[in-house]
Amino acid sequence: MRTRKLKSKIGRPVHAGLPPGDERFLQRIHDFFHLLNGEWHWDILVALHDGPLRYTELLNTVRARTPVSNWPGNAHHFLQEDMLSRTLQRLTQGELIERERSMGFPYATTYRLAPAARELLTVMAPAAEWTEAHSALVVRVQGMRQRVPEE
């Protein structure tokens, strides 16, 4: 498949190997969101970006870095241990993180990004930059959604 470079609004090239007009585009977008559908998925992936962390280090890192959400209906403010365990299990099953348990006592479990997740964070940088470039739009939409009851 041939890719072409497009110039984005934020000045970086965008590769259009699977353009929105392609019949597979919408399916791949749905696949993407289902794979990463979880309240704490992104927080955990970003926390592991700097390197492997043990369970408690990961919990503390996510708790320290979690931004305040201005989106209505977003209730996550403090990651609980049981939620971290469930989310780590889903991310491990989804092959986005790798889990390693030490053999000797005391046992320690370490988590690290799988290569696919490291690549994912790299390709998400333009999306974060797009959101930064359109921060006024984000604030307006947050304000509108807080005033209008969700259906």
Residue 115's domain comprises: 31-68+79-125
What are the C-alpha distances in Å from 82 to residues 59, 75, 124, 138? 11, 16, 27, 31
Q: Is residue 12 part of a domain?
A: no
| Mean pLDDT within 14-37 | 84
State what percent of residues in the chain have pLDDT above 70: 81
Burial class (CB in 10 A: 0-12, 13-18, 19+), 124: middle
Q: Given this model, what pLDDT does residue 18 score?
A: 82
Q: Range with the lowest mean pLDDT among 2-6, 125-129, 136-140?
A: 2-6
Q: Is residue 4 part of a domain?
A: no
pTM for this model (two decimals): 0.78
| Mean pLDDT within 37-49 | 93
Report the CATH number that the domain containing residue 50 is assigned in CATH. Answer: 1.10.10.10
Q: Given this model, what pLDDT does residue 110 score?
A: 97
